[in-house]
A and B are shown apart, each in its own frame.
Chain A
Amino acid sequence: MDQLTLDTWSGEKRPEVLRISEVTAVITRLLDTPALLNIRVTGEITNFKRHSSGHLYFSLSEKQGEKEYTIRCSIWKSAARQLSWTPGDGMIVEASGSVSHYERSGQYSLIITRMWQSGAGEKALLIEKWRRELAAKGYFAPERKRQLPPYPVRIGVVTSETGAVIHDIRNVIACRFPTEIILSPAAVQGAGAEEEIAAAIGRVAPRVDLIIVGRGGGSYEDLFPFNHPLVVEAIAHCPVPVVAAIGHEVDVTLADLAADIRASTPSQAAELCVRDRRAEIETLNHIRSRIFRRLLSRIEQASEELNDLRERFIPARMDRSISERRQFLVETGDRMEEVTALTLSRYHVQLREIAARLEAKNPAAILIREIPERRSRIADIRERLIRAAACSLNERRMELAALKSALEASNPHIPRKGCCIVHRENVLIGSAGEISAGDTVELKFSDGRAVAAIREVTYHEEV
């Protein structure tokens, strides 16, 4: 192309003035070369966008040291439908298609017809590795999250000096609750951005009550520094709370995860940092009326108390009150007496009953009452005894006399008339065999005795 230009412009005559369409046609013709038709390329997807029409727009890029090469790419809706996977920033892919010049915008791009995934992108892998390492240090732990101060006096903002972020934040804060803002500028993309961001956070932290780290929307690559461990550590170690507002809602960087609060946009971050001045004034008005009402009701209460006291101090009322109390005292005294008398009389009755019951059980009284009866019963018994004894005695006497006469009749020692009892040497002789001739025996009669000598003894034959 350079060669063409030089050839055209060489020579003495002034170059021909070409219309844009003519130049554009040349470019189109030059790009229409087999070297750029149906080619197969490999690269990393960046700046991926899915248009509402269904077409996909992105770049394929390659990095060689500090240098980066990029080609714009498009996949039309019909080809996009053939993809069985969802392309995204950071993916390393292979694609086939042709380079085409879009004359309306003067841009060329690779129109891709087929595309394959060749593994997760290097950057994505690197971020995943950092995420694991930093998570292990506890930087993303929910318990580390701090509350924002309710009324920050100074707010630090770490962002690009030239971007829209600082203006958005300034506008929101000016509108809601004017506060002092200290901008700590840093490059927010490109090589070395992570170091600048980390340093900017460290610089501003001692001067402010909280920090907003912000960056507008950008590609996966643009936001890449906000995944760097330097930035994450600067946020995690920041002595004041950090609000992160990096990229769009869908972009979540490691810096977002480490921040105390994540906002979807820088404006939202500013809203989260300061209260709304109008709401604050409303609250103050509310408090003013609240304490006024409270004071008023306290005064009303005090005045009611006073009225009550005043009324109670009226002398007539006090007299009435005293006479009422005196009457009450008298009545109470009377009732007490009544009750006492009643109780006493009841006890007397009971006492008498008990005494009577006791008296009834007294043994002396019982005895005295029963003596005459018992005496007469004794005399009666005695008489009956005497009579019975006398009767019995007579019977016995008669029995005895009968027995005596019977006995006397049969006594061996006292012989009946005409009979005698024979003894020899005081031994009773009952048989003729007991004596012999020549024995001297004593004869006992019923009215005297005699001594006799035996001349002869004869025995009855049958003996």
Chain B
Amino acid sequence: MKKYEELITDLKEIVRKIEDSETNLDEMVTLYEQGTVIIRQCEERLSEAEVKISTLGKGEA
């Protein structure tokens, strides 16, 4: 599973391509679909996230 940061990086790249005037319509539709999927994944990740806390033993290497 991709990290949240990787999803954000992918999303930024998609936004960049969508805003590029060279991108044709077909590509743009595909990119838009991918973008909305990533946004949904990010939102899920954010809403599901819970803080987890663990403690290292002092002797642990």
Residues of A that sit less than 8 Å from B by CB: 149-151, 153, 161, 166, 170, 173-174, 177-186, 196, 199-200, 203-204, 207, 277, 280-281, 284, 287-288, 290-292, 294-295, 298-299, 302
Contact = CB atoms under 8 A, between A and B. Distances in A.
Contact of A177 (B11, B23, B49, B58): B49
Given A284-B39, A287-B15, A288-B39, A149 B51 contact: no
Given A180-B53, A294-B19, 10 more contacts: A151-B3, A170-B53, A179-B49, A182-B53, A183-B56, A185-B55, A203-B56, A203-B61, A280-B42, A298-B25
Contacts of B18: 291, 294-295
Contacts, number: 95
Given A181-B52, A203-B60, A291 B14 contact: yes
Chain A binding site: helix, strand, loop or mixed by DSSP?
helix
Contacts of A302: 25
Interface of B: 3-5, 8, 11, 14-15, 18-19, 23, 25, 28-29, 31-32, 35-36, 39, 42-43, 46, 49-56, 58, 60-61
Contacts of A200: 56, 58
26 contacts: A151-B3, A151-B8, A153-B4, A170-B53, A174-B50, A178-B49, A179-B51, A179-B52, A180-B51, A180-B52, A180-B53, A185-B55, A185-B56, A199-B58, A203-B60, A280-B46, A284-B39, A284-B42, A284-B43, A287-B15, A287-B35, A290-B15, A291-B35, A292-B32, A294-B28, A295-B28
A173 B42 CA distance: 18
Given A182-B56, A204-B56, A287 B39 contact: yes
Given A294-B19, A295-B18, A178 B51 contact: yes
B32 A291 contact: yes
B39 A298 contact: no
Given A281-B46, A291-B18, A291-B32, A180 B54 contact: yes
B13 to A, nearest CB: 12
Contact of B58 (A185, A284, A290, A299): A185
A380 to B, nearest CB: 102
A281 B43 contact: yes
Nearest to B27: A298
A290 B15 CA distance: 8
Chain B binding site: helix, strand, loop or mixed by DSSP?
helix
A295 B32 contact: yes
B43 to A, nearest CB: 6
Contact of A277 (B31, B39, B49): B49
B45 to A, nearest CB: 10
Nearest 6 pairs of A and B residues by beta carbon: A178-B49, A151-B5, A174-B51, A178-B51, A183-B55, A180-B52
A181 B25 contact: no
Contacts of A284: 39, 42-43, 46
A183 B32 contact: no
Nearest to B8: A151
A277 B58 CA distance: 32
A281 B50 CA distance: 16
Contacts of A299: 25
B14 to A, nearest CB: 7
Contacts of A149: 5
Contacts of A204: 56
A178 B15 contact: no
Nearest to A151: B5
A218 to B, nearest CB: 21
Contact of A184 (B25, B32, B52, B56): B56
A156 B44 CA distance: 25
A151 B15 CA distance: 19
Contacts of B19: 294
B42 A181 contact: no
A265 to B, nearest CB: 19
A182 B54 contact: yes
Contacts of B4: 151, 153
Nearest to A290: B15
Contacts of B50: 174, 178
A150 B11 CA distance: 15
A304 to B, nearest CB: 12
Contacts of A150: 5, 8
